[in-house]
Amino acid sequence: MSNINLAVNRVSKRFGGNQAVDHVSFSVTKPELIGMIGPNGAGKTTLTNVMSGMTKPTSGAIYLNGKRIDGHPAYDVTRAGLGRTFQITRALGRMTVLENMMVPGLAHQPGASRSNLEERAREILALLTIEHLTNEYSRALSGGQRKLLELGRLLMLEPSVIILDEPFAGVHPRLQETIYQYIHRVHEDGKAIILISHDMGAVFELSQRLLVLHHGALIADGAPQDVKSDPAVIEAYLGHDEED
């Protein structure tokens, strides 16, 4: 129990008549690499928003490293150790790449020396192969480079749990390889990762465990090979055969 990083207990989120997340429960231990899949509208992004404090849950509880975080504002959840990326990248356009990196650095370590943080930011940018863009405005970056920048910003936060929302979407294969290496490296560093993606190849290759959401509910939670043959998952993805 003590090595559980994130515990989601019967979390629901309702928007009017739409039950976007329906009593979802699961836990994440350190250092797990979990894939989260589901058809469009399954509730993956809503659940991510609830976990990261962007949206308050209608009911349920979420614990991060033993601290209850549901209903807490996003900045508080982030400081507690949960970092996330966005499905559509949210680079801070009229700020340089280095400034983008310094925002989480200074927010996470207000008393830290600026030069030390800058040095760390440059190391991370080098790891992500975008160090030559350090002083460029992030609005000038390509879509893939912005994804890398978002991943870099996460490392400045030193979170214990990372949620990656569609990190491979619309990314050039060469940059996809960099993101693969990033995920491996961060996982080896002992962080728990929740990977949300429609890229089934990547999810099955990287994940140790898979969560499947459908209509807001968690319909499968297990090893990728077991989930692949789960009738409920097959039905969610391929639909119900009327002759059955």
Partner 1 sequence: MAFFKRFESTIDNGIGRRRFGYIVLGLIILFFLWFPNDSSQSNYAKTVFISGFFYAIMASSWALLAGIAGQFSFGHMAFMGIGAYVAGLIARDGIIFAMLGIAISPESISAIGAIIIGTLIAGLVGLVIGWLLLRLRSAYLALFTIAFSELFRIMMLTEYDYTGGSNGLSLRPLLQIADVDAARQVEYYLMFGLLIVCLLVMHWVANSPIGLFLRAMREDEDAASALGVNVVRYKILIFVFTSMIVGLAGAVFYSDVGSERIIPEQLEVLQMSLIIAYAVIGGMESLVGAAAGAFISRYLLEATREVVIALPFGLTMSDGSGAFVWETGAWRYALFGVIMVFTLRYMRNGLLHPIITWFSGRDLVMQETVSKRKSDDDYDDLLEAGDE
Please report whether residue 95 would count as binding partner 1 according to CB under 8 A: yes
Q: Which amino acid is at 52?
A: S
Output 174 or 240, the one with its CB closest to partner 1.
174
Among 102, 161, 194, 210, binds partner 1 (CB under 8 A): 102
Please report whether residue 110 would count as binding partner 1 according to CB under 8 A: yes
Please report whether residue 92 would count as binding partner 1 according to CB under 8 A: yes
| List of E strands, 106-153 | none
Please report whether residue 122 would count as binding partner 1 according to CB under 8 A: no
Q: Which residues pair with 207 in a beta bridge?
A: none
Site string for partner 1, 149-178 (x = CB under 8 A): ----x---x---------------------
Q: CA 155 to CA 151: how far, in whole Å?
A: 7
Output 162 or 220, the one with its CB closest to partner 1.
162
| List of E strands, 30-172 | 33-37, 59-64, 67-68, 82-84, 161-165
Output 84 or 187, the one with its CB closest to partner 1.
84
Q: CA 12 to CA 47: how far, in whole Å?
A: 8
Q: CA 160 to CA 65: how far, in whole Å?
A: 8
Q: For the purposes of burial, counting CB atoms within 10 Å of the CB of 137, is it exposed (0-12), middle (13-18) or buried (19 or more)?
A: middle
Angle between helices 114-127 and 97-108 (to 10 degrees): 120
Output 4 or 106, the one with its CB closest to partner 1.
106
Among 56, 59, 93, 185, binds partner 1 (CB under 8 A): 93
Please report whether residue 133 would count as binding partner 1 according to CB under 8 A: yes
Positions in the binding site for partner 1 (CB under 8 A): 52-54, 73-75, 78-79, 83-84, 86, 90-95, 99, 102-104, 106-108, 110, 132-133, 135-136, 140, 153, 157
